């Protein structure tokens, strides 16, 4: 792409020089878009800027072997990596020493830097062979310091006077974003739960999944999705959970992916260990200890319950503790060490 052809019919300047000279119709890439068009020969350029450095950015243009460019060695979408502080005598491709204007060569051979040729037929992007370039490909769209950019160019069309492509970056999408599960005292979950990991865009997203507890695990723990939703199973350790006292227990499942703008994403799991309402002391049965607690809290019909320690004894939820609440407890009475039927307080 550095081949000038001849002094009487030189090829067009690259997008970098056109943009510097103010000749280009330059469009900034800022939000994900599909079906963008790039037309050759009209100085149309797309630009993707570094988030903090004004000297470094990417330019995209369509170059075709017609007109001024008839002697070029390839046609298709040219992706240029620009660093205005670089030098085109620096061929090392290191953070410290690299070109000012680097053609991201689709075949990854870097023939220009290695003085193999002045460009060949596999340097530009076009279907069916070179249809994407991003933080997940080789060559990639990293910045010169090695950090990933969020530039993803994909769905690149066949070469032609007007080409199409889409722009975006992989983005983790979890569904649901939280899981809540209830179990009864002395029991583990009767089944496992599931969530999905997807990508907003039809480009590869490679992820790993971890958790921060020993009472659940996930399967699988890694994968790659190109837009579809991968189903992940949340597996509970029922033996451990069955030994827990009444209460609420939380865990976090974390989905991470390199070169992704919103990584990591966390899914919160809340597991509540319940018992029937009249089991005031949370020991799995309804016995005389529970009866005694209700008796101490008795207010009588129509007398407002105000003692915070007795709020759990308003079993019929009418703001007092009276014979009706005793009736509910009697219906659940199981005796010491005998599990109360969970439906007794429905």
pLDDT band at 149 (very low <50, low <70, confident <90, very high): confident
CA atoms within 13 A on the CB side of 323: 1
Across the range 154-182, mean pLDDT stands at 93
Q: What is the pLDDT of residues 30-62, one digit of tens each?
A: 988 889 999 999 999 999 999 999 999 999 999
d(CA 118, CA 2): 6
Query: 294: left (phi > 0), else alpha (psi -120 to 50), else beta?
Result: alpha
Beta-ladder partners of 239: none
d(CA 150, CA 58): 11
Q: What is the pLDDT of residues 109-134, one digit of tens each?
A: 999 999 999 889 999 999 999 999 98
Q: What is the pLDDT of residues 11-32, one digit of tens each?
A: 899 999 999 999 999 999 998 8
Both tokens of residue 156?
Answer: 């690149």
CB 61 within 8 A of CB 46: yes
Percent of the chain, pLDDT > 70?
Answer: 96
Q: What is the pLDDT of residues 242-271, one digit of tens each?
A: 999 989 999 999 999 876 768 899 999 999
Q: What is the DSSP letter of 289?
A: H
d(CA 328, CA 340): 12
Q: Across the beta sheet with 33-39, what order do the strands follow? A: 33-39, 162-168, 152-154
Q: Which domains does the chain have, with CATH numbers?
A: 15-168 (no CATH), 172-274 (2.60.40.10), 288-345 (no CATH)
């Amino acid at each position: 792409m550095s081949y000038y052809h001849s002094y009487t019919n030189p090829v067009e300047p690259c997008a970098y020089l056109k943009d510097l000279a103010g000749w280009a119709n330059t469009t900034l890439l800022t939000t994900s878009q599909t079906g963008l068009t790039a037309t050759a020969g009209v100085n149309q350029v797309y630009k993707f800027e570094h988030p903090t450095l004004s000297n470094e950015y990417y330019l995209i243009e369509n170059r075709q072997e017609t007109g001024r460019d008839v002697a070029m060695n390839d046609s298709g979408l040219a992706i240029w990596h620009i660093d205005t502080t670089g030098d085109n005598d620096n061929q090392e491709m290191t953070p410290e020493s690299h070109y000012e204007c680097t053609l991201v060569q689709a075949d990854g051979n870097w023939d220009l830097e290695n003085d193999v040729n002045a460009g060949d037929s596999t340097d530009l992007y076009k279907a069916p062979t070179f249809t994407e370039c991003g933080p997940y490909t080789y060559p990639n769209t990293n910045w010169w310091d090695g950090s990933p950019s969020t530039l993803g160019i994909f769905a690149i069309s066949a070469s032609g006077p007007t080409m199409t492509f889409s722009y975006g970056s992989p983005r983790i999408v979890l569904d649901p974003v939280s899981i809540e599960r209830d179990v009864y005292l002395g029991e583990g979950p009767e089944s496992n739960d599931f969530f999905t990991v997807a990508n907003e865009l039809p480009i590869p997203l490679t992820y790993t999944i971890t958790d921060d507890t020993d009472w659940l695990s996930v399967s699988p723990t890694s994968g790659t999705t190109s837009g579809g939703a991968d189903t992940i199973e949340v597996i509970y350790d029922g033996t451990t959970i069955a030994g827990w006292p009444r209460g609420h227990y939380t865990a976090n499942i974390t989905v991470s992916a390199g070169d992704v703008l919103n990584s990591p994403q966390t899914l919160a799991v809340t597991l509540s260990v319940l018992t029937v309402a009249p089991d005031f002391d949370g020991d799995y049965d309804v016995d005389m200890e529970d009866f005694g607690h209700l008796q101490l809290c008795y207010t009588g019909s129509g007398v407002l319950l105000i003692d915070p320690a007795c709020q759990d004894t308003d079993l019929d939820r009418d703001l007092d503790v009276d014979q009706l609440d005793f009736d509910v407890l009697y219906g659940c009475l199981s005796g010491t060490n005998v599990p109360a039927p969970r439906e007794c307080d429905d």
